Amino acid sequence: MILNAKIPSGPLADKWDSHCFQSKLVNPANKRKYNVIVVGSGLAGASAAATLAELGYNVSCFTIQDSPRRAHSIAAQGGINAAKNYQNDGDSIFRLFYDTIKGGDFRSREANVYRLAQVSNNIIDQCVAQGVPFAREYGGQLANRSFGGAQVSRTFYARGQTGQQLLLGAYSSLSRQIKLGKVTMFTRREMLDLVLEDGQARGIIVRNLITGELEQYGGHAVVLATGGYGNAFYLSTNAMASNVTAAFRAYKRGAMMANPCYVQIHPTCIPVHGDYQSKLTLMSESLRNDGRVWVPKKKGDNRPPADILENERDYYLEQKYPSFGNLVPRDVASRNAKEQCDLGKGVGETNLAVYLDFDEAIARDGQATIMKKYGNLFQMYEKITDKNPLTEPMMIYPAVHYTMGGLWVDYDLMSTIPGLFVLGEANFSDHGANRLGASALMQGLADGYFILPYTIGNYLAKTSHDQVQVGGDAFTEAQQQADSKLNQLLALKGKRTVDDFHKELGALLWDECGMARNKVGLQRALTKIPEIRAEFWSNGLVTGQGAEFNQTLERAGRVADFLEFGEIMVHDALAREESCGCHLREESQTAENEALRDDDKFSYVAAWQYQGQDTAPKLHKEELSFENVTPSQRSYK
């Protein structure tokens, strides 16, 4: 199969406009005859569901939570980028495009990224019109800040709750369409399978999480906006219910999974404090603007930080990267922290942390100035750890934060299954091998408000609007499969809990398929994952019944999928014998131990195709070409 991204021809800046013009339109009177299924109600799902309903389509929207307002988009703190150039500081659509594609280490498509930068401005206009309370200057204009090392101030924000406010904006539009009867909302439903008829996506099987019943829903197209798979690592900054199940079941039905090894790891999280820990909390990386990162020079030095003298401290980032120091990019900071801990120099109860010290900044600028900048973060830290960063250094450690990989989509955001569209973090399309700060919110809303509503017409206009009937062979077969999988899970009466297996898988992926990988470790993981999976299916323990509200069963299904999906991540990491973005392949380094990309061999998107249970997936390559930018190597020395 040859992957065709269907990138429009013509100059970069004209591609989207001309594509919109050439795209097919669905007659306004016919739109109401089409039913579209949207799975997920985060930024991408809610914005898509609301916008499609506004256009006249009938939409059914499904969420795993009790309300569409809960999706994990809500947790994004920092902000949303747009190329408005309100600050007159030299920003432009081309600069946002360039920064994004360079940030992704030249592993994304020029055309997709340029379109993202183009529609970024519409997003801000739309959100303001909805009443999103963005931060403002005294004169009433919108405020901007520089974020994640960008040279221009293009980030819009609503305190530390930007994701929440943007999601509530999309939720409000969705709520309006629910009231108008154009969207039917299904809460507490988990998608367990995708239904294909004649090779086209025609419906889904969901489990009603309250009653435990399986339900069938049909539609002329299915839109997945089900988020990322960071929870494969067990510990991540993702919400507890974030999972890969919907995307993975679509993969098993024929949708290809692209670049699954691209995972972003955030350097400034509150460290792990015990085996009971359920998730990691991220703190804004702005802290590194004033904090100094260090560990004791001596291995296993357990003295309190105040007793460790200046000459006994190793400020390793400042030593190693004199020009960027503590402000090296996320991946470099993360990798070095792990390296220090692996050397036995980690601090804290678990020895899996490094210090982030504000002493010098407090001495230089005064406590009041530092509190003004970081007061809310210091309070958050103290609430969780019971330690005051003003009197003793913070402890930080990297954590899985975002997944750039996801289901492969073409320029229309359609997967390799006709009629299956994938939006937001669930697709792979825009961030390459690393995502810039404040770009996740931008992509989710771009896909939902301004891209899918245009491109879905291209597919629907060619599809008959005869009602999709549920209950046919394909629906029955899919439901039976889902049902038998649930029964297999319920039959597990072994000794180890679901969480126990999840933790084991997570620790393995973190060690062997995290921010630094090598061939030997990845091969070890490829042997180990099937062993963990086999033990899960023989010694797992699942309580309760199927026909009831059963959270253990829900988690078991998700962990079972992670146990298969983790293996695809490792296959992908193994095949990519280069370092790129936020991933260091240890065999591919410069003389100074920095990440070394290999454009000759690996300038492609890796798309994996399911080949059946216990068979290795098949790799397909979509070559990337760069006509408007020249790939360059990073240097932070």
Which residues belong to the active site?
330
* 28 contacts other proteins (rule: CB under 8 A): no
Footprint of other proteins on residues 404-433 (CB under 8 A)? Answer: none
CB 268 within 8 A of CB 288: yes
Output DSSP code: residue 569.
Answer: H
* 383 contacts other proteins (rule: CB under 8 A): yes
Amino acid letter, residue 108: S
CB 266 within 8 A of CB 334: yes
Q: Choose one: 415-423, 447-455, 519-527, 587-595; the region binding other proteins (CB under 8 A).
A: 447-455
* 87 contacts other proteins (rule: CB under 8 A): no
Q: Residue 312 — φ and ψ, nearest 5°?
A: -100, 5
- Would you say 138 or 527 has its CB closer to other proteins? 138
Helix (H) or strand (E) holding 263: strand 263-269
* 100 contacts other proteins (rule: CB under 8 A): no
Count of residues of this chain found to bind other proteins when the rule CB under 8 A is applied? 83
Q: Choose one: 91-99, 134-142, 218-226, 247-255; the region binding other proteins (CB under 8 A).
A: 134-142
In DSSP notation, 143-198 reads P-B--TT-SS--EE-STT-HHHHHHHHHHHHHHHHHHTTSEEEE-SEEEEEEEEET
- Would you say 107 or 503 has its CB closer to other proteins? 503
Residue 244 tokens, joined = 């890969």
**The only residue of 197, 318, 499, 598 in contact with other proteins, by rule CB under 8 A:** 499
Helix, strand or coil, per DSSP, at residue 60:
strand
**The only residue of 164, 216, 336, 439 in contact with other proteins, by rule CB under 8 A:** 164
* 602 contacts other proteins (rule: CB under 8 A): no
> Between 287 and 326, how does the x/- string for binding to other proteins read (CB under 8 A)?
---------------x-x----------------------
Handedness of CA 216, 221, 226, 230 (dihedral sign): positive
Closest approach of Cβ 223 to other proteins, in Å? 15
Question: What is the C-alpha separation between 492 and 474, in angstroms, rounded?
Answer: 28
Q: Choose one: 119-127, 246-254, 307-315, 582-590; the region binding other proteins (CB under 8 A).
A: 119-127
> Among residues 402, 289, 308, 386, which one has the least CA distance to residue 347?
308
Closest approach of Cβ 58 to other proteins, in Å? 16
> Among residues 175, 161, 160, which one has the least CA distance to residue 130?
175
**The only residue of 70, 154, 207, 585 in contact with other proteins, by rule CB under 8 A:** 70
- Would you say 161 or 628 has its CB closer to other proteins? 161
> Among residues 89, 86, 93, 92, which one has the least CA distance to residue 142?
86
> Between 550 and 569, how does the x/- string for binding to other proteins read (CB under 8 A)?
-xx-----------------
Residue 101 tokens, joined = 């594609």
Q: Say what angle helices 110-130 and 93-103 make with each other, to 10 degrees.
A: 120
> Among residues 580, 428, 441, 425, which one has the least CA distance to residue 515?
580
Side-chain-side CA neighbours of residue 369 (13 Å): 10
**The only residue of 33, 102, 145, 176 in contact with other proteins, by rule CB under 8 A:** 176
* 450 contacts other proteins (rule: CB under 8 A): yes
**The only residue of 36, 44, 124, 492 in contact with other proteins, by rule CB under 8 A:** 124
Closest approach of Cβ 573 to other proteins, in Å? 28
**The only residue of 138, 311, 323, 466 in contact with other proteins, by rule CB under 8 A:** 138
Amino acid letter, residue 564: E
Footprint of other proteins on residues 457-486 (CB under 8 A)? Answer: none
* 519 contacts other proteins (rule: CB under 8 A): no
Handedness of CA 296, 299, 300, 301 (dihedral sign): negative
- Would you say 92 or 497 has its CB closer to other proteins? 497
Contacts of 550 by beta carbon, 8 Å cutoff, 6+ apart = 212, 543, 544
Question: What is the C-alpha separation between 554 and 558, in angstroms, rounded?
Answer: 7
Amino acid letter, residue 112: N
Amino acid letter, residue 82: A
* 165 contacts other proteins (rule: CB under 8 A): yes
Footprint of other proteins on residues 237-266 (CB under 8 A)? Answer: 239-241
> Between 207 and 226, how does the x/- string for binding to other proteins read (CB under 8 A)?
---x----------------
**The only residue of 6, 24, 159, 618 in contact with other proteins, by rule CB under 8 A:** 159
* 125 contacts other proteins (rule: CB under 8 A): yes
Footprint of other proteins on residues 42-61 (CB under 8 A)? Answer: 47, 50-51, 54
